[in-house]
Amino acid sequence: MILQYAISYNQPKIYSDASWSSAAVTVANSTTIGQYPLATFVDTNNTIYVSTRTNNSIVVWQDGNFAFPINISIENFYYSPSLFVTDAYDIYVDSGQTYYQVGNWSSNSTGSVPEMYECAGCWGLFVDSSNYLYCSVYANHQVVSKLANESSNIWNIVAGTNTSGNTSFTLNYPRGIYVDIYLNLYVADSMNNRIQKFSSGQSNGITLAGNGATNTIVLDGPTSIVLDADGYLYIVDSNNHRIIGSDINGFRCIAGCSATAGTTPTNLWYPTTLSFDSYGNIFVTDQYNNRIQKFIIATNTCVTPTTIATTMEIIGTVGNTVDSKTSAIQTTGIISTFTIPSSIPSTTSNMYTITGSTKNTNKSTTGFISSTTKSVTQSNGLLSTTTSTSHMLSTPLSCYAPAITLVPGQSSLVSPLQYRKSQDFSITSMIQLDCSGSLSTITKWKITSCTSICSDQVQTDPTITTTLSELYIPAKTLAYGIYQLTLNITMVDTPNLKSSS
């Protein structure tokens, strides 16, 4: 049973053979974003936000519609080197260079409010899965944090000592920051030319890349750090005018690989930040070229994908009608399709099943489900789907029950994870299938109220959805209480092989 806040940024699944076009597409230039932009953010809806340096506003493009930018003017806003947008569409921007504060522009308000007062500018902003706001205080050589949306201006020092240095406890003009779902902090330690990781609650950092790290890459003034779905690093190596990525084989250059400044589509000029969209495309703030560059992902496939049957089951109330259409579920390396019938007759049953399959063209082998799809299907209940692709690993002699790992962390009835009713949360899962036959499965999520005893199944709200192996519950959907969230997986051809977590 795992509960967490829904994240607002993209963490695509990137395979080791992934590549990006060396020539970028310019999606915005000085006409719309002015001179020397510093920060770009792409949310999970692929809405793009850019903080302008000279226009005193945030420019927004929804759904990649670059023909119609939206300008958001923010009070007491000037020269913001950092930007973060939450899943509730709250925009955090820094104005510490002039107004000594971090502002919060809420989607349901007409103006911004101060979120944090500071003595120096935040050159990196981040809101973690526990709703804590982090600020990389460049001139003070430290990273501080406080609970977001809280009136108190008391913050905690989570990294650095307010004095520059190159030890494991100190930072030297830190820039971009990133906090993973386990609350580990990653810092682009700019003047130390390295990337530091501070495990949750620890002040002693570990060098992952750059100066002081073994078998790594030489960095010069890194300014931004993000992680993909597997925790691999993607770094803006600003003074080398390039983007660096890592994978199972180590570090490699992704863009601007000549390491020289330039104005062509293959060059960057002191880039500052990067952000993934949901497809794995990379958006870079190309500061001295006064533009936002999009590096399109060209290849990203797992080793020899396998096409398998897809089954989905919806548990909900009776009498539902669904429009007739064919939908596509994109998993890693394959697209499966299914057809939804035009209507579902009313019966005395609470359950109806929609099934479909693709032609099985390859022999199934051991596989791992790993999905980056953000398909949203709503019903008066839970959508559970079965879909997978496989790495070709080894051919087992028989079938075994699925192995399920819920991400992140652990919890129990004695020690449940705690979340506010006003926040969204989601659960993701990793599913391992080991079978020489069909890998088709039926996947179901179940919510049980445990306020007294874990016995009453909750009548689910239409807004509760799953996206393949993820359960997503919007804010204010469940009443106050304790809930047990269970994922059940059954092999279609061998129903006695089933697992729950």
Model confidence pLDDT, tens digit, residues 96-131: 555 556 766 666 555 555 556 566 788 999 999 888
> Of 19-33, 177-191, 313-327, 468-482, which range is least confident?
313-327
In this predicted structure, the answer to whether residue 486 has a pLDDT above a threshold of 70 is yes
Angstrom distance (rounded) from CA 265 to CA 418: 47
What per-residue confidence (pLDDT) applies to 233?
A: 97
Long-range interactions of 198-203: CB distance < 8 A, separation 24+: 198/143, 198/158, 198/159, 203/158, 203/159, 203/169
Model confidence pLDDT, tens digit, residues 406-439: 876 567 666 677 777 666 777 777 777 878 777 7
Q: How confident is the model at residue 368 (pLDDT cuts 50, 70, 90)?
A: very low
Angstrom distance (rounded) from CA 117 to CA 155: 10
Tokens of 127: 């809101």
434-468 burial by CB neighbour count: b if 16+ within 10 A, else e? bbeebbbbbbbbbbbbeeeeeeeebebbeebbbbb
Prediction pTM value: 0.62
Concatenated DSSP letters of 300-320: ---SS-----EEEEEE--SS-
What per-residue confidence (pLDDT) applies to 110?
A: 56
What per-residue confidence (pLDDT) applies to 199?
A: 95
In this predicted structure, the answer to whether residue 384 has a pLDDT above a threshold of 50 is no
**Quick one: average pLDDT of 222-238?**
97
Listed residue (419, 400, 441) closest to 485, CA to CA: 419
In this predicted structure, the answer to whether residue 393 has a pLDDT above a threshold of 50 is no
pLDDT higher for 318 or 450? 450
CATH of domain 19-299: 2.120.10.30
- By percentage, how much of the chain surpasses pLDDT 70? 68
**Quick one: average pLDDT of 246-274?**
96
Q: What are phi and psi of 353, to 5 degrees?
A: -125, 135
In this predicted structure, the answer to whether residue 462 has a pLDDT above a threshold of 60 is yes
What per-residue confidence (pLDDT) applies to 264?
A: 97
Residue at token pair 């539902």? 320
Q: What are phi and psi of 220, to 5 degrees?
A: -135, 100
Angstrom distance (rounded) from CA 307 to CA 458: 35
Concatenated DSSP letters of 202-222: --S-EEEEETT-SS----SSE
